[in-house]
Homo-oligomer: A and B are copies of this chain.
C-alpha cells in the first residue's frame, strides 16, 4: 500500500477534529462547540458497549461509528433541513468514494460497504449505530444545558426521540432528559 495515500486518508479524517458540529453553533450559539471527531469518538464508544452487551458484531459496529461522518471531511457538517435527504446522501456518498480511494482496494471495499450499510440501516449493527448517533447528540445537548442553563435544547431532544425506536435507547433518552 502506498504510504503517501494512506497518510492522506488519515489527514482527511483528521479534518473532523477541526470541523465543528454546526447545530451547536447555529442553534445554541456556542463559539467553540465539540468537533465532529469528538462526537464520533463517543458514538464509537457507545457502539462498542451496546454491541458487546447485545452480542452483535462489535468490530463492525465500531467501524461504522468511526466511518459514519468521514464524508464530512470533504462536504462539512450540515443541519437537518439544509440539504434534502437525497441530495445529502448523494453528496456524502460521492465524498466517501473519493476518500476511501486512499486505502488499499480490499479495505476500501470493506469501508464503503460498512458506510453504505450504515446509511441504509440494513443490519442490526447499522440500526444500532444510527440510533446511537442521536442518543449521543441528546446526551451532549443535556451536557451543554447543564453548562449553559439558558440554552434551549428541546429541538435536539425531539429530533432524537423522532429517530430512536429501540426501547432501551428510548429509555436512555428519557433518563438523559429527566
Chain A interfacial positions (CB closer than 8 Å to B): 1, 3-4, 6-7, 9-11, 13-14, 16-18, 32, 34-35, 37-38, 40-42, 44-46, 48-49, 52-53, 58-59, 62-63, 66, 103-104, 107, 110, 136, 139-140, 143, 168, 171-172, 175-176
Contacts and interface: CB of A to CB of B under 8 A. Distances in A.
A171 B41 contact: no
Main secondary structure of the interface of A (DSSP, over half): helix
Contact of A13 (B1, B42, B66): B42
Complex copy number for this chain: 2
A62 B66 contact: yes
B44 A17 contact: no
Contact of A37 (B1, B38, B110, B172): B38
A17 B45 contact: no
Contact of A59 (B7, B58, B171): B58
Contact of A175 (B7, B40, B52, B110): B7
